[in-house]
Amino acid sequence: MSTLAIHNGRVIDPALGRDGIADVVIVDGRVARVGPNEGDAVIEADRIDATGLVVTPGFVDLHVHLREPGFEYKETIASGTVAAARGGFTTVCAMPNTDPPLDRRAAVESVLRQAEEHAAVRVLPLGCITRERAGKELAPAGELAQAGVVALSDDGDAVADARLMRHALEYAGAFGLPISQHCEDPALVHEGQMHEGWVATRLGLRGRPASAEETFVARDIALADLAGAHLHIAHVSTAGSVALIRAARERGVRITAEVTPHHLTLTHEEVGFGSSGSHDAANGGGANGYRSIAYHSNAKVNPPLRSHGDVAACAEALRDGVIDAIATDHAPHAVSDKEIEFDLADAGISGLETALGLSMSLVHDGRIELPLLIERLTAGPVRAWSLDQHPGLEGLGTLAPGAVGDVAILDPDAAWTVTPEEFASMGKNTPIAGRELRGRVLATVYGGRVVHALEGVAL
Amino acid sequence: MTTETHETPGASAAPLLPGSGEPLASAPAPGPWRHRHVLDLDDFGADEIETVLELAGQMAEVLERRIARVPALRGHTIVNLFYEPSTRTRASFELAGKVLGADVLSVSASTSSVQKGESLIDTVRTLRAMGAGILVMRHASSGAPYLAARHTDAAIVNAGDGAHAHPTQALLDLYTMRRHFGALEGKRVVMVGDIAHSRVARSDLWGLSAMGAEVVVCGPPTLLPHGLRPGDRPEHAESALPFVEVETDIERAIEGAHVVMALRLQSERQEGGLLPSLHEYSLHYQVTAKRLARAHPDHLLMHPGPKNEGVEIAREVAGGGRSMIEEQVTNGVAVRMALLYLLALGRDAAAKAGEGAS
């Protein structure tokens, strides 16, 4: 019998409405007891002193790219899940745009086997909506569900064919699988490289208009309504999308949604005027407002970073519950994929290790309460996809007795500097390198085992 | 030509150009100059633009000599790295470098053969290792020269990047306008055509607004970029683009203009669904004699070339008395000489000071 006692932290467990000083006792990988001084009664245990810290259920991420198989030079299941652990995530849902893509049983089983052997935290794969992600024919949803996928997505691309999307929604419903759609109309996106707006005009880059996302959100809401199926909108990024989702939820359509930490906090100005890697000090420019530009490909992401109004609307929707979950869309890339011409550079941000720090800025400037933010990282995503209905995942996202023993221990006020070279992720591609964040995960417990602990944490 | 021609002060003496064999670093500084690279005009002050234009006047003098050679850049190696086909800009830079006595090498690289992995950075570093101190670069990707500038201590001159910038074209446009008008303050400059895809327009906007001109852009809404109207930007970013007037009616735009510049229209715009047809475009946006009658009597007609006569510009005005199109080309060599000179001077001064560029 192995026992872990986490002493004297402020335990925030939104699903149970708990917020107070307590001990968390985990026995044989499952939560045994939570309450004041409960740990004192345990005689033989590993102990963590969480005095002055916040103790929450382990975070659940509905959207990560682990890149294995096929792109192991960008990330592996091993490296990506260590990055997850460092970010406080104990469950990550892995997108199927690997090579080969996860559009058949054998591919899913292979990922699950790799995860069993090498993953630091729980990996729940998604399957493809269409075969080969080609947007032409349905992938075998039933077979994929049996193999263990928790949702379907062609993420990276939208399913552009409306008829196929309708049938995908209808068909997946029979197997209880939500469909997570990357909403961007390829026709409107065309060759767009960043958000369409004044920054793109300044940089001479083609734009991806907000309407490219909004037309597909509107279309897919109508299709989900028609199909009576569960649609999940991945990485919501515009105020218009928020309004559409809000209205659809109000009239009872089964829509859930996620937003990334970067869409909650960063704007398209990062691309042209962000702080990292600028030439201007060398060019006699220096800090001169909007005088000097750069092309920060580490801020290139799809959907793109948007305007201040969009960022504000996303944050408000997260607070209101129109958006259920924070998901990172962790998209690691190699330097050789990023440090090239902007229009050739891959899109994506390595986000697992900065997720809490970035999101905490909403708490620090008073736009969301800490327990609600934690809800959107734990119970929110679990509820969105009913992940706790899967065998073995009872109580996921909470610290209820009997739940999986997954815990994040954080210091909401700890200031730290983003240093990509120190990321566990192989993807060093972050637009916020060198920036100071406030709020950090100090230790992570997965199934009762400590899988991440910063130096100096009292274990 | 009825337009009054203003002589650039000091142009006849050419005192800044050293004689044969004199090291460049001993030449007096021609005026304010802070740039290690020329990537766009957005970070240029009016004082630096003045420096370039003054010096270009002296370079124009050199070009008029019977033997147009000044060995000011002897020992400097300039590489023209062109990832896009170009005749005039490339020839102009080659000539500018050669007149100044530099070793000039032109390299054509086709973007289609460039694989990810065989990178721009490698190419730039390789050319630097061969001794290139100044790299003149044209590339189809907006921002490519900025990438190069981050990875080499060679001076980068942007000879056109995607739809972003073409600063040497803008400087030669400014030079041409100033030669005829003296100061540009308050002069109404109208650019007509495909503003959205035009790197020339973007750089001209910066240069013209730095010099105090009143800028109007005109074209069909599908060819006007987003965010140009001041109200399209948040208040804090108002200065992030030059202040311009945006107009879709060419007659209104041209009213009282001192300069009318027609921009090249690419036939792809029709295929891309941005225009019904080139004919339709020419009906509504072609710069014609009739439309130019609304301009200021002493107006100049400009075009960055290569032009499609009968599409964005009528044949009779392109070859007419107000047309600056050929003069623009001539002035281009002088302006590029001035820029190469300033960059080389800066490099020599840095080397002499033993600072070692980083």
CA distances from A53 to A9, A160, A238 (A): 5, 46, 34
What are the structure tokens assigned to B334, written together? Answer: 């002088």
pLDDT of residue A445: 98
Contact B150 A283 (CB under 8 A): no
Q: Quote the CA–CA distance of B27 and A149 in Å, as a whole number.
A: 72
Q: Quote the CA–CA distance of B216 and A48 in Å, as a whole number.
A: 67
Judge contact between A19 and A373, C-beta under 8 A: no
pLDDT of residue B24: 56
Out of A204, A206, A285, the one facing B165 most closely (by C-beta) is: A204
Contact B227 A198 (CB under 8 A): yes
Out of B37, B225, B237, the one facing A290 most closely (by C-beta) is: B237
pLDDT over 90 at A258, yes or no = yes
Q: Quote the CA–CA distance of A10 and A18 in Å, as a whole number.
A: 9
List helix spans (H) across A365-438.
370-377, 379-385
Nearest residue of B to residue A345, measured between CA atoms: B116
pLDDT band at B16 (very low <50, low <70, confident <90, very high): low
How close, in Å, is residue B254 to chain A by CA atoms? Answer: 24
Residues of chain A found within 8 Å of residue B225, distances taken between Cβ atoms: 200-201
Average pLDDT over residues A113-138: 98
pLDDT of residue B11: 39
The region that residue A8 occupies, defined by phi over 0 for left and psi between -120 and 50 for alpha, beta otherwise, is left
pLDDT tens per residue, range A271-300? 999 864 333 333 433 344 788 899 999 999
Token pair 């053969």 is at which residue? B113
pLDDT over 70 at A233, yes or no = yes
pLDDT tens per residue, range A235-245? 999 999 999 99
Nearest residue of A to residue B149, measured between CA atoms: A279
Out of B161, B226, B357, the one facing A201 most closely (by C-beta) is: B226
pLDDT of residue A274: 87
Contact B226 A200 (CB under 8 A): yes
Judge contact between A406 and A47, C-beta under 8 A: no
Out of B120, B143, B237, the one facing A295 most closely (by C-beta) is: B143
How close, in Å, is residue B197 to chain A by CA atoms? Answer: 8
More confident residue, B171 or B354: B171
Out of B34, B227, B234, the one facing A308 most closely (by C-beta) is: B234
Residues of chain B found within 8 Å of residue A299, distances taken between Cβ atoms: none
What are the structure tokens assigned to B12, written together? Answer: 């006849």
What are the structure tokens assigned to A186, written together? Answer: 């390829």
Residues of chain A found within 8 Å of residue B237, distances taken between Cβ atoms: 198, 269, 290
pLDDT over 90 at B262, yes or no = yes
- Could you tell me which residues come within 8 angstroms of residue A46 by beta carbon, excluding any fewer than 6 positions away? A2, A3, A4, A5, A450, A459
Count of positions (residues) in chain A: 459
pLDDT over 70 at B18, yes or no = no
- Could you tell me which residues come within 8 angstroms of residue B99 by beta carbon, excluding any fewer than 6 positions away? B59, B62, B63, B68, B69, B70, B333, B337
pLDDT tens per residue, range B270-310? 888 999 999 999 999 999 999 999 999 999 999 999 999 99
Average pLDDT over residues A194-203: 97
Judge contact between A230 and A386, C-beta under 8 A: no
CB pairs under 8 A between A and B: 117
Count of positions (residues) in chain B: 358
pLDDT of residue B355: 52
pLDDT tens per residue, range B203-236? 999 999 999 999 999 999 999 999 998 788 998 8
Judge contact between A222 and A248, C-beta under 8 A: no
Nearest residue of A to residue B238, measured between CA atoms: A290
pLDDT of residue A11: 98
CA distances from A267 to A229, A311, A315, B331 (A): 33, 7, 13, 41
Query: CA nearest A93: which of A382, A431, A447?
Result: A382
Average pLDDT over residues B303-326: 95
Q: Quote the CA–CA distance of A74 and A89 in Å, as a whole number.
A: 20
Average pLDDT over residues A322-336: 97
Contact A202 B239 (CB under 8 A): no
Contact A205 B43 (CB under 8 A): no
pLDDT of residue B2: 41
pLDDT of residue B272: 85
Instruction: With H, G, I as helix, E, B as strand and everything else as coil, classify residue A150.
Output: coil
Judge contact between A103 and A139, C-beta under 8 A: yes
Contact B164 A204 (CB under 8 A): yes
Residues of chain A found within 8 Å of residue B240, distances taken between Cβ atoms: 198-199, 202, 289-290
pLDDT tens per residue, range B45-89? 999 999 999 999 999 999 998 888 888 999 999 999 999 989 999
What are the structure tokens assigned to B101, written together? Answer: 């006595």
Token pair 């906090």 is at which residue? A265
Sheet holding B214-218, edge to edge: B245-247, B214-218, B188-192, B259-262, B300-302
pLDDT of residue B27: 61
Instruction: With H, G, I as helix, E, B as strand and everything else as coil, classify residue A62.
Output: strand
Judge contact between A198 and B232, C-beta under 8 A: yes
pLDDT tens per residue, range B148-167? 999 999 999 999 999 999 99
pLDDT tens per residue, range A362-406? 999 999 999 999 999 999 999 999 999 999 999 999 999 999 999
Judge contact between A284 and B44, C-beta under 8 A: no
Average pLDDT over residues A426-431: 98
Instruction: With H, G, I as helix, E, B as strand and everything else as coil, classify residue B66.
Output: coil
Alpha-carbon torsion A33, A34, A36, A37, what sign?
A: positive
Identify whether B297 is preceded by a cis peptide bond (ω within 30 of 0).
Answer: no
Q: How far apart are the first and last CA of chain A?
A: 19
Residues of chain B found within 8 Å of residue A204, distances taken between Cβ atoms: 142-143, 161-165, 199, 202
Backbone angles phi, psi at B62, to 5 degrees: -60, -40
Lowest mean pLDDT among A37-41, B54-58, B194-198, B258-262: A37-41
ipTM of the complex, rounded to two decimals: 0.92
Contact B42 A206 (CB under 8 A): no
Q: Does B202 touch chain A (CB under 8 A)?
A: yes
Which DSSP state fits A95? P
How close, in Å, is residue A421 to chain B by CA atoms? Answer: 19
- Whole-number mean pLDDT of chain B? 89
Contact A293 B40 (CB under 8 A): yes
Window 246-305 of B: residues touching A by CB (8 A cutoff) are none
Out of A284, A341, A342, the one facing B34 most closely (by C-beta) is: A284
- Could you tell me which residues come within 8 angstroms of residue B184 by beta carbon, excluding any fewer than 6 positions away? B174, B177, B178, B208, B211, B212, B213
- Whole-number mean pLDDT of chain A? 95
Strands A46-49 and B188-192 come out as: unpaired
Query: CA nearest A185: which of A196, A197, A172?
Result: A196
